[in-house]
């Protein structure tokens, strides 16, 4: 998919070009790099969403070239150890030298510069938590291995998010702390040209920054826009102010002007928008993207009431124009819709960190990646060699310590981490019995959720009817969210069984890639009559459903087919056989017996 020139836009399946008139996304991306460099502490940094490629490389080169001389740039690899990140004791070196050898942390080394996070979408929550902590407090706190140290360190983060689809991305906790969210996926190579800014300009802007003032009215309009766009986090407004001031400093002004606010709105607020501002656009303006998407009427009303009167129209327009097209549609359709376009070939990559869970045996290996050394076993491994080693040391004239432990003696404890189960319901919402069946599935999901927070499992719900399938409830263990998603379940129409199985499988696959265990529950009568492309025809629909079922079997996903037809027939049984699933005819499925069946399967 990454052909020369045409960067992964192809993965979007030929949708409309989301670029807007006005400053190109590339120019904005460069501007974000400049503003981040002008005020690294105030803006936090950049989340750069794009696959690796020439465009991203070009951006990174520009960003690096913009850094004033002497400011460090540190790249943090995905599986960075705590010792390397925060600093600590280098155990192997310590043993070799016979005296404590400290390791300096990357975050301390990056003081005054930039930290680049590679493959940020896969970063472990623990690492993200440590980064956030250092970020919030402006210091790196080291309290490990008997060393306790606090080192002030201020840095900006450039997170390279290679996530594809809505279900992959930088952790929200970290994303919220970065001012600029850039998407370079749609930028073509020939657009990614050099930048016009010089390091000297940035140095001058940095010096000017403390003097830049912003008026109350300007703060008000930034806050108002954030509110109108449905951005709950206050960090966004704070970042917008910082970005406006940085831009003013860059333009050699000491007062923030409307142009600065427009830039702040475009770069900081627009990518975070969750709703369109509820005000009517002027007639002569082009319509905002996706105006036909109906918004929830209640929300609209309450927003209108709260809506501040003195919103700065120009800034709002500029911000609105920068909202990616289709964003709102995605938000409304649930986050998982885009994962249909996901590239394959990443399967089985994610393994849960083996440093958690219950101990399960001992391995030979180094205490890296936060793994715990098993001291007793290490000493046991070293014991037989003590005399030899001491003699050896004496021969080269080095003093020996009381115990001679070498790197090959290291033993680490292996942990077994019970992987989390995600139960995915794929429910047939077609035809006349749909309402009843859906109600049962709903009941079962809620019953499962009710004991979910004891077992720490997740539940998801996919429904198919009419021409396509949709994710009604992405994997969650949150009752709050489940109730909201389940509230309005539509029913009726044809039976696109293949699409339903496909979508359920995709969910299952993404659960598997994260190290979880999916269980697929398909509730249907097995009588497909709509093909994947939405056209009718029993024969083709049936073939496709069979093909989809075979893929499920090949992925070895634990599955259960519940036949809900009044008189169970051969089709359901065949489907289960193709899927390698347990077959359960349950013509009068009620929530309780469903729940029991599901629990029996997942065990």
Partner 1 sequence: MPIPFPFSAVVAQEEMKRSLLIAAIDPSIGGVLVFGDRGTGKSTAIRGLAALLPKMQAVDCTYNCDPDAGDEALCAECREKRAKGMTLKGRKVQVPVVDLPLGATEDRVIGALDLERALTKGEKAFEPGLLARAHRGFLYIDEVNLLEDHLVDSLLDVAASGENLVEREGLSVRHPARFVLVGSGNPEEGELRPQLQDRFGLSVEVTTPTDLPTRMKVVRLRDEFERDRAAFVQKWKSKDGKVRRLIEKGRALLPEVKVPDKTLEQAGKLCIKLGTDGLRGELTLIRAARGLAALKGDKEVTVDHLKEIATSALRHRLRRDPLDESGSTSRVERAVQELFGE
Please, what is the minimum distance in Å from the beta carbon of residue 43 to partner 1? 10
449 near partner 1, rule: CB under 8 A: yes
376 near partner 1, rule: CB under 8 A: yes
CA distance 363 to 355: 12
Please, what is the minimum distance in Å from the beta carbon of residue 210 to partner 1? 6
Token look-up 């990518």 returns 271
Minimum CB distance to partner 1 smaller for 226 or for 511: 226
Among 464, 438, 458, 447, CA closest to 544 = 464
Q: Which one among 1, 10, 52, 129 touches partner 1, defined by CB under 8 A?
A: 129
How remote is the C-alpha of 296 from its chain's centroid?
A: 26
216 near partner 1, rule: CB under 8 A: yes
Token look-up 């009068």 returns 588
* Token output for 258: 């409307």
Minimum CB distance to partner 1 smaller for 40 or for 572: 40
Minimum CB distance to partner 1 smaller for 424 or for 530: 424
DSSP string for 113-166: EEEEETTGGG--HHHHHHHHHHHHHTEEEEEETTEEEEEE--EEEEEEE---ST
H or E stretch covering 375: helix 375-382
Structural contact between residues 337 and 330, judged by C-beta atoms closer than 8 angstroms? yes
Of the ranges 6-14, 159-167, 374-382, 508-516, which one interacts with partner 1 (CB under 8 A)? 374-382
Of residues 142 through 201, those in contact with partner 1 by CB under 8 A are: 143-146, 150, 152, 172-173, 176
Minimum CB distance to partner 1 smaller for 124 or for 551: 124
124 near partner 1, rule: CB under 8 A: yes
DSSP string for 424-481: EEEEE--STTHHHHHHHHHHHHHHHHHTHHHHT-EEEEEEEETTEEEEEEEEE--HHH
Minimum CB distance to partner 1 smaller for 100 or for 537: 100
Minimum CB distance to partner 1 smaller for 43 or for 601: 43
Minimum CB distance to partner 1 smaller for 220 or for 293: 220
Please, what is the minimum distance in Å from the beta carbon of residue 39 to partner 1? 9
Please, what is the minimum distance in Å from the beta carbon of residue 97 to partner 1? 10
Of the ranges 319-327, 388-396, 441-449, 495-503, which one interacts with partner 1 (CB under 8 A)? 441-449
* Token output for 543: 């073939």
Phi and psi at residue 202, in whole multiples of 5°? -65, -45
Of residues 62 through 91, those in contact with partner 1 by CB under 8 A are: 89, 91
Structural contact between residues 380 and 364, judged by C-beta atoms closer than 8 angstroms? no
Q: Which one among 132, 300, 565, 593 touches partner 1, defined by CB under 8 A?
A: 132
Minimum CB distance to partner 1 smaller for 19 or for 144: 144
Among 550, 500, 504, 551, CA closest to 524 = 500
Of residues 241 through 300, those in contact with partner 1 by CB under 8 A are: 241-242, 245
Please, what is the minimum distance in Å from the beta carbon of residue 373 to partner 1? 6
Of residues 350 through 369, those in contact with partner 1 by CB under 8 A are: 353, 355-358, 367
Of the ranges 9-17, 218-226, 334-342, 510-518, which one interacts with partner 1 (CB under 8 A)? 218-226
Q: Going by C-beta distance under 8 Å and a sequence separation of 6 or more, which residues neighbour residue 515?
A: 350, 351, 352, 419, 420
Structural contact between residues 328 and 335, judged by C-beta atoms closer than 8 angstroms? no
Minimum CB distance to partner 1 smaller for 325 or for 403: 403
**CB burial class (10 A; 0-12, 13-18, 19+) of residue 390?**
middle
Of residues 482 through 541, those in contact with partner 1 by CB under 8 A are: 483
Please, what is the minimum distance in Å from the beta carbon of residue 118 to partner 1? 18
Please, what is the minimum distance in Å from the beta carbon of residue 477 to partner 1? 5
Sketch the per residue contact string, 572 through 601, with partner 1: x for CB under 8 A, - otherwise.
------------------------------
136 near partner 1, rule: CB under 8 A: yes
42 near partner 1, rule: CB under 8 A: yes
Please, what is the minimum distance in Å from the beta carbon of residue 547 to partner 1? 36
Please, what is the minimum distance in Å from the beta carbon of residue 425 to partner 1? 16
Minimum CB distance to partner 1 smaller for 381 or for 541: 381
Structural contact between residues 48 and 192, judged by C-beta atoms closer than 8 angstroms? no
Please, what is the minimum distance in Å from the beta carbon of residue 247 to partner 1? 15
Q: Which one among 189, 259, 363, 373 touches partner 1, defined by CB under 8 A?
A: 373
> CA angle, corner 243, sides to 310 and 327, nearest 5?
70
Q: Which one among 60, 108, 238, 521 touches partner 1, defined by CB under 8 A?
A: 238
Of the ranges 17-25, 26-34, 226-234, 540-548, which one interacts with partner 1 (CB under 8 A)? 226-234
Residue 324 is given by DSSP the state: P
* Token output for 468: 């396509």
* Token output for 298: 């209640």
Of the ranges 228-236, 341-349, 492-500, 520-528, which one interacts with partner 1 (CB under 8 A)? 228-236
Mapping DSSP to helix (H, G, I), strand (E, B) and coil, where does residue 270 land? helix
Specify the pairing of strand 139-144 against strand 45-49.
Answer: unpaired
Q: Which one among 207, 343, 394, 450 touches partner 1, defined by CB under 8 A?
A: 450
Q: Which one among 41, 329, 360, 388 touches partner 1, defined by CB under 8 A?
A: 41
* Token output for 429: 């919402």
* Token output for 166: 């809505």
Q: Which one among 100, 286, 536, 587 touches partner 1, defined by CB under 8 A?
A: 100
**CB burial class (10 A; 0-12, 13-18, 19+) of residue 362?**
middle
Of residues 396 through 415, those in contact with partner 1 by CB under 8 A are: 401-403, 405
Size of the site for partner 1 (CB under 8 A): 86
Minimum CB distance to partner 1 smaller for 387 or for 402: 402
Structural contact between residues 474 and 167, judged by C-beta atoms closer than 8 angstroms? yes
Minimum CB distance to partner 1 smaller for 447 or for 506: 447
Q: Which one among 15, 77, 98, 534 touches partner 1, defined by CB under 8 A?
A: 98
Among 378, 377, 382, 425, CA closest to 400 = 382
Please, what is the minimum distance in Å from the beta carbon of residue 42 to partner 1? 6
Spell out the SS3 assignment of 296-320.
Answer: CHHHHHHHHHHCCCCCCHHHHHHHH
Residue 269 is given by DSSP the state: I
């Amino acid at each position: 998919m990454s052909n020369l020139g045409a960067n992964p836009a192809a993965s979007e399946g030929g949708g409309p070009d989301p670029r807007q008139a006005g400053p190109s996304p590339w120019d904005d991306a460069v501007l974000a790099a400049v503003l981040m460099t002008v005020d690294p502490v105030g803006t936090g940094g950049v989340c750069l969403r794009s696959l690796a490629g020439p465009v991203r490389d070009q951006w990174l080169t520009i960003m690096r070239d913009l850094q004033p001389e002497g400011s460090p740039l540190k790249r943090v690899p995905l599986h960075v150890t705590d010792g390397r990140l925060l600093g600590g004791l280098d155990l192997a070196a310590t043993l070799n030298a016979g005296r404590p050898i400290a390791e300096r942390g990357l975050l301390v080394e990056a003081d005054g510069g930039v930290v680049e996070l590679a493959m940020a979408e896969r970063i472990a929550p623990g690492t993200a938590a440590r980064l956030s902590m250092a970020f919030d407090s402006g210091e790196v706190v080291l309290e490990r291995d008997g060393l306790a140290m606090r080192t002030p360190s201020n840095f900006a983060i450039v997170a390279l998010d290679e996530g594809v689809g809505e279900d992959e991305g930088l952790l929200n906790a970290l994303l919220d702390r970065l001012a600029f969210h850039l998407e370079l996926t749609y930028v073509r190579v020939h657009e990614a040209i050099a930048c016009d800014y010089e390091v000297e300009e940035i140095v001058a802007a940095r010096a000017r920054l403390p003097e830049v003032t912003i008026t109350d009215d300007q703060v008000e309009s930034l806050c108002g826009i954030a509110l109108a766009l449905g951005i709950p986090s206050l960090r966004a407004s704070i970042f917008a102010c910082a970005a406006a001031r940085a831009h003013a400093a860059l333009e050699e002004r000491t007062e923030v002007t409307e142009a600065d606010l427009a830039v702040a709105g475009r770069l900081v607020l627009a990518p975070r928008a969750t709703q369109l501002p509820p005000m009517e656009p002027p007639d002569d303006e082009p319509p905002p993207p996706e105006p036909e998407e109906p918004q929830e009427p209640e929300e609209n009303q309450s927003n209108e009431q709260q809506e501040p009167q003195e919103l700065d129209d120009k800034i709002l327009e500029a911000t609105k124009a920068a909202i990616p097209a289709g964003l709102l549609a995605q938000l409304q359709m649930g986050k998982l819709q885009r994962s249909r376009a996901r590239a394959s070939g990443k399967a089985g990559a994610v393994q849960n960190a083996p440093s958690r869970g219950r101990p399960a045996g001992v391995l030979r290996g180094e205490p890296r990646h936060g793994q715990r050394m098993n001291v007793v076993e290490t000493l046991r491994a070293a014991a037989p060699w003590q005399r030899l080693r001491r003699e050896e040391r004496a021969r080269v004239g080095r003093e020996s310590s009381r115990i001679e432990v070498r790197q090959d003696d290291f033993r680490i404890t292996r942990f077994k981490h019970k992987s989390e189960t995600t139960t995915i319901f794929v429910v047939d919402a077609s035809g006349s019995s749909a309402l009843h069946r859906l109600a049962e599935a709903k009941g079962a999901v809620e019953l499962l959720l009710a004991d979910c927070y004891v077992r720490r499992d997740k539940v998801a719900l996919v429904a198919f009817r009419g021409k396509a399938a949709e994710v009604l409830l992405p994997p969650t263990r949150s009752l709050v969210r489940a109730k909201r998603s389940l509230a309005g379940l539509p029913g009726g129409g044809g039976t696109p069984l293949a699409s339903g199985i496909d979508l359920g499988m995709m969910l299952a696959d993404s659960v598997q890639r994260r190290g979880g265990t999916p269980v697929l529950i398909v509730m249907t009568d097995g009588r497909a009559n709509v093909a994947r492309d939405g056209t009718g025809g029993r024969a083709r629909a049936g073939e496709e459903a069979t093909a989809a079922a075979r893929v499920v079997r090949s992925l070895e996903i634990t599955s259960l087919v519940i036949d809900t037809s009044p008189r169970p027939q051969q089709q359901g049984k065949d489907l289960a056989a193709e899927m390698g699933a347990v077959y359960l005819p349950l013509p009068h499925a009620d929530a309780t017996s469903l729940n029991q069946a599901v629990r029996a399967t997942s065990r």
